[in-house]
C-alpha cells in the first residue's frame, strides 16, 4: 500500500518539533564551520593581492538573494527533505578536510551546504531562484597557487614585456629579462603579486554576476569577453606607473603606500567599467541626461 508521506518529501507549514530540529542541525553545522568562516575571512582580508574581492562578492550575493526572495514572498512556506541528501556528502567532505587540513575542501563544503539548507528552510521553488547567486560564492574561494602558477607566470611575462615596450615608446631606457625590468632608478621585479591575477579573478567574478542581471545576450557576451583583457590592461598600466615612479624616484618609492594604492586602483578602475558595460543603454542615457 502506498504511503503518501513517503511519496512526498515536501513538508509545507512545518510543525514545531520539525522546525526546531532543522534549526538544531543548522546551528550545529554553523559551529562545525566556524574555523572555515575564520579562514575565509582571513583570506579575504589578508591583502588586496589575495581574494580581496571576496567580501564584495559575498555582499552582492546577499543582496541578490534578498531581492530574489522578495519576489517570491507570496508563496507559502515549505521545506524539502532532499536537502539532507546534499548535507550528508558535504559533511563527509568537511570531515575529510579535518584530516588533511587544506581548509579549501571545508570552504567548498561550506558553500555546497547552502543549497541543502535552502531546500530545508525555503523549499524547491525558492532554492531554484537563488541557486545561481549561491553558486557564485564558489568564486570567492582562494585558488591554490599550484593550480595557477603557470597562469601567474604568463601574466607576469605579459606585464613585463608590455611595460618594456611602452617605456621605450616614451623614450625611457629599459632592459627587460624574464620578469625583471631594469630602469635608471633601479631594478623592478614583476612578482606574483604584480601579475594581475587577483584583478583578473575579481573581474571575471564580477563580470559573471553583472551578466546575470543583463537582459541583453549581447551585453552578457561582451562582459564575459572583455573582463579578462580589461583586467590585464589595467594591471599593465599599474606596472607602468610603478616603473615610471622607480625611474624617477628610485626603489624606495615601492616601500611607500604608492605600491598598495596602485593595487587598489586596479580594482577601482576595472570593476566600475564592468558594472557600466553591464547597464542597459536606456539606463546609461537616463544617467547622462539627468538634470544636475
Amino acid 17: pLDDT: 41
Q: What pLDDT sits at residue 194?
A: 84
Q: Which three cell numbers stand for residue 36?
A: 572555515
Give the model's pLDDT for residue 136: 92
Inter-residue contact 84 to 92 (CB < 8 Å): no
- E-only strand ranges, 20-135: 78-80
Residue 225 has a pLDDT of 94
Instruction: Identify the pLDDT of residue 15.
Output: 43
Count the neighbouring beta carbons within 10 Å of the beta carbon of residue 243: 25
- The pLDDT score that the predictor gives to residue 37 is 93
Nearest partner of 219 among 275, 269, 272, judged by Cα: 275
Model confidence, pTM:
0.79
Q: What is the pLDDT of residue 290?
A: 55
At residue 228, the pLDDT reads: 95
Q: How far apart are the first and last CA of the chain?
A: 73
| Residue in this structure with the C-alpha cell 513538508, named with its chain if needed | 11
pLDDT score at 16: 39
* pLDDT, one tens digit for every residue, the chain (292 residues): 455 444 444 444 444 346 777 888 889 999 999 999 999 999 888 876 677 788 888 888 998 899 889 988 888 878 888 888 999 999 999 999 988 888 899 999 999 999 999 999 998 999 999 999 999 999 999 888 788 888 999 999 999 999 999 999 999 999 988 899 998 888 888 888 888 898 999 999 999 988 988 888 889 999 999 999 999 999 999 999 999 998 888 888 888 787 788 888 888 899 899 988 888 765 555 555 555 4
Q: Positive or negative, the Cα torsion across 118, 122, 124, 127?
A: negative
pLDDT given at position 200: 92
Amino acid at each position: 500500500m502506498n504511503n503518501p508521506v513517503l511519496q512526498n518529501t515536501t513538508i509545507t507549514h512545518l510543525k514545531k518539533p520539525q522546525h526546531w530540529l532543522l534549526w538544531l542541525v543548522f546551528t550545529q553545522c554553523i559551529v562545525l564551520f566556524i574555523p572555515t568562516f575564520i579562514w575565509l575571512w582571513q583570506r579575504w582580508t589578508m591583502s588586496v593581492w589575495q581574494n580581496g574581492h571576496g567580501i564584495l562578492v559575498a555582499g552582492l550575493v546577499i543582496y541578490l538573494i534578498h531581492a530574489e526572495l522578495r519576489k517570491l514572498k507570496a508563496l507559502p512556506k515549505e521545506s524539502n527533505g532532499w536537502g539532507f541528501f546534499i548535507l550528508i556528502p558535504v559533511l563527509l567532505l568537511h570531515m575529510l578536510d579535518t584530516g588533511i587540513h587544506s581548509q579549501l575542501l571545508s570552504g567548498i563544503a561550506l558553500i555546497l551546504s547552502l543549497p541543502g539548507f535552502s531546500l530545508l528552510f525555503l523549499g524547491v521553488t525558492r532554492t531554484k531562484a537563488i541557486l545561481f547567486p549561491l553558486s557564485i560564492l564558489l568564486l570567492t574561494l582562494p585558488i591554490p597557487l599550484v593550480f595557477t602558477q603557470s597562469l601567474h607566470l604568463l601574466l607576469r611575462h605579459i606585464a613585463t614585456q608590455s611595460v618594456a615596450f611602452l617605456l621605450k615608446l616614451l623614450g625611457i631606457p629599459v632592459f627587460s629579462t624574464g620578469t625583471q625590468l631594469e630602469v635608471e632608478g633601479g631594478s623592478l621585479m614583476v612578482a606574483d603579486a604584480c601579475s594581475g591575477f587577483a584583478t583578473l579573478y575579481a573581474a571575471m567574478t564580477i563580470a559573471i554576476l553583472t551578466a546575470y542581471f543583463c537582459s541583453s545576450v549581447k551585453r552578457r557576451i561582451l562582459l564575459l569577453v572583455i573582463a579578462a583583457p580589461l583586467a590585464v590592461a589595467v594591471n599593465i598600466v599599474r606596472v607602468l606607473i610603478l616603473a615610471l615612479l622607480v625611474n624617477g624616484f628610485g626603489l624606495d618609492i615601492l616601500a611607500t603606500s604608492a605600491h598598495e594604492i596602485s593595487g587598489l586602483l586596479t580594482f577601482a578602475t576595472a570593476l566600475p567599467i564592468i558594472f557600466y558595460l553591464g547597464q542597459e543603454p536606456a539606463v546609461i542615457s537616463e544617467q547622462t541626461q539627468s538634470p544636475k
